[in-house]
Amino acid sequence: MAPFAASKGITEVVINTIQPYDLRLLGDSCFRGYDSIGYHYCIALLACRVALNEADELDVVTVLEHEVEKELKEHELVASRGGENYYVTLRIFKCFKKDTDRLNHLLIRLQDHRG
């Protein structure tokens, strides 16, 4: 993933793809229209970029903050329906914690929500 994260062009494509992405719960019988794996690969790529480039001119951390807020809203909806959250983004950020302190506030935000 590091070679892709090092590319400004690829990073811009990823950012433009996930920012308008609507996180929503799936219906009982259909998985079309929501690609959780692809979405979280994008989050991982952006987290990797933060770890590789401390002075990122794209301010990828701001984008990740926005995505954390979207995920927290989804978690609230899941909890209100009696479901269980899997905290994929939290696990992704923990993978990169050793490489950067720029994700610490996002880790704390997700962990605080987890309870």
Express each pLDDT in 75-105 by its tens digit. 888 888 887 777 889 999 888 877 778 888 8
Ranges of residues in the chain with a pLDDT under 50 are: 29-31
Tell me the whole-structure pTM to 2 decimals: 0.81
How confident is the model at residue 66, as a pLDDT? 92
Q: Contact at 8 Å (CB) between 18 and 43?
A: yes
3 phi/psi in degrees, rounded to 5: -60, -35
Q: Which residue, chain included where needed, has tokens 């979207």?
A: 70
